[in-house]
Amino acid sequence: MATIIILTLITLASADYWTDRAHLIASDSSQNIGSSIVLSDKERQVNNILMGAKFKEYDQGFANPETFLPAQHFFKSKSKIEESGVFKFIQKVPKGASLHSHDSALVSLEYLYNLTYRENLYGCVVNQRLRLHFFDSASGDCEWELIQDLRKQNSSFDEYLRSQLSIIVDDPEKEYPSITQVWNRFMQTFSTVFGLVAYRPVFQDYFYQALKELYDDNVMYIEFRGLLPEVYELNGTTYDPEGVVGLYLETLEDFKSDYADFFGARFIYAPSRSVNNKTADDYVTTATKLKTLFPDFIAGFDLVGPEDRGKPLVQFIPQLLRLSKSMKFFFHAAETNWCGTTTDMNLFDAILLNTTRIGHGYGIVKHPKLLKEVKERHIALEVSPISNQVLKLVDDLRNHPGALLVAGGFPVVITCDDPTFWGAKGLSYDWYMAFMGFASRESDLRMLKQLAINSLKYSAMEEEEKCDAFNKWELMWNRFLDEVLKSSVSKYFDCYTVNRVR
């Protein structure tokens, strides 16, 4: 009898343990981005297709860690990502909005390279960097030569030219031993590309193509940052900031005329942070004027450039307080591994200045109070997985702070930053990295759906416009579900039976 009682007690204790364990696991996962979403019957069917592909790929990585793509440098994993069933699925997902990218690095590298075949493009080399510019006839402080002539003179010129338009290298670990080297190359690439894309006919074609590549990646709306460069004509005529915004709007209207279901675009004026206070005063004047002239297109203001080497936000508080009366902010902050530095402290100033979103915010996980603030204030964090990896903030994307942000249900949007310079295109590559690298093995279609919802929710659109955008996105989402179930896309996903608990 005593033995029976003891066995009964052991059994009860064991049952209590497994019940407690299940409750703890469920409680933990209930915080994840998308965990509150209840899938419909159709969504569950689509989710089964997605998770078959994810479990197969994820578990192969678990068994052979060296093959797991988010743990590899993007320059080495890109071609394999493009073969992934999960990636092909994500390409078809209606992603809502793209909320963080920069004007000189919006398009695919291949399109940017093809622009170098345009007539009247000249090049010259200054300090081992190629400069590009369109001229009717070249003159000035550089030994300009037609690009078409340089191609004829040197059979390896095109290889050199391609190397100047991106930061892609065969051996990134060797080529970029520290963040200093990769950031130097990154900023030099902007200077090379500027003269190419600032020529007015190219400028408009380039922006149209940027919209088209996002549209093809199932993005319906974009908010992008820009310096408002001095756009020029072949005869030397230039456009001031208001004229450049006019070119953007003209191109946007042309695109919407061709693709009526594209929802729209807004511009965040984002000049350099490496300036003095007098120049910052000029920024305020320009931003205020632009917002007055183009209230529906100008979303807000930011300061860009290398945070560790540039001026922190605290240097410009008087100017930013004046500007806050008429302008929303979308500040880059804490794109750094350093805690307690001026770069890190940009987070505090961004939040105190009531920023709408935070660009990167990489260091925020080191500040529990700020994590609480962004969640309570609904300040979205624009997380760019591939950018953070190739610019040497993190090597293995499983270790990215975004993993905590996704697990904790923080207001996250996944963004692409400067896809041209690392050979990406649209949003799908970054969404893949977040879904496979940041998220749990168990994270499913609900996470992708919530990321799309977040992208519209945390956009700069007015509430009525957001409602319209959500309605149109829901139609796209339902079409996507039908297409996955009816089309041949399912051939990419093998059924894969797994034990759901590791």
User: In angstroms, rounded to a whole number, what is the distance separating the alpha carbons of residues 432 and 437?
Assistant: 8
Task: Count the neighbouring beta carbons within 10 Å of the beta carbon of residue 82.
Answer: 13
Q: Do 246 and 171 have their domain in common?
A: no
Q: Residue 7 domain-assigned? A: no
Out of 140, 175, 210, pick the residue that ends a domain.
Answer: 175
Q: Residue 247 domain-assigned? A: yes
**Integer CA distances (angstroms), 213 to 90, 150, 162, 190, 477, in order:** 15, 30, 20, 20, 19
CATH of the domain at 302: 3.20.20.140
Q: Do 455 and 323 have their domain in common?
A: yes
For the cut 70, the answer to whether the pLDDT of residue 3 exceeds it is no
Per-residue pLDDT tens digits for 65-94: 999 999 999 999 999 999 999 999 999 999
Per-residue pLDDT tens digits for 366-402: 999 999 999 999 999 999 999 999 999 999 999 999 9
Q: Do 284 and 168 have their domain in common?
A: no
pLDDT at 17: 87
For the cut 90, the answer to whether the pLDDT of residue 182 exceeds it is yes
Instruction: Establish whether 442 is a catalytic residue.
Output: no
For the cut 50, the answer to whether the pLDDT of residue 205 exceeds it is yes
Percent of the chain with pLDDT strictly greater than 90: 90
Range(s) of the domain holding residue 138: 113-175
DSSP 8-class letter at 501 = -
Q: Do 292 and 425 have their domain in common?
A: yes
Q: Residue 279 domain-assigned? A: yes
Instruction: Establish whether 335 is a catalytic residue.
Output: yes
Q: Do 372 and 329 have their domain in common?
A: yes
Which one is catalytic: 57, 335, 367, 382?
335
Q: Residue 130 domain-assigned? A: yes
Return the sign of the alpha-carbon dihedral for residues 106, 316, 292, 246.
negative
> Which secondary structure element, helix H or strand E, spans residue 454, and what is its range?
helix 445-457
Please report, as a single letter, which amino acid is at residue 345.
Answer: M
Q: Do 472 and 348 have their domain in common?
A: yes
Domain count of the fold of the chain: 2
Which one is catalytic: 100, 133, 332, 360?
360
Q: Residue 369 domain-assigned? A: yes
Q: Do 291 and 358 have their domain in common?
A: yes
Q: Residue 12 domain-assigned? A: no
Q: Do 335 and 411 have their domain in common?
A: yes
381 DSSP β-pair partners: 358, 412
Q: Do 169 and 297 have their domain in common?
A: no
User: In angstroms, rounded to a whole number, what is the distance separating the alpha carbons of residues 343 and 355?
Assistant: 16
Q: Do 170 and 211 have their domain in common?
A: no
Q: Do 258 and 389 have their domain in common?
A: yes
Q: Do 214 and 149 have their domain in common?
A: no
Q: Residue 68 domain-assigned? A: no
For the cut 70, the answer to whether the pLDDT of residue 60 exceeds it is yes
Q: Residue 222 domain-assigned? A: yes
pLDDT at 190: 96
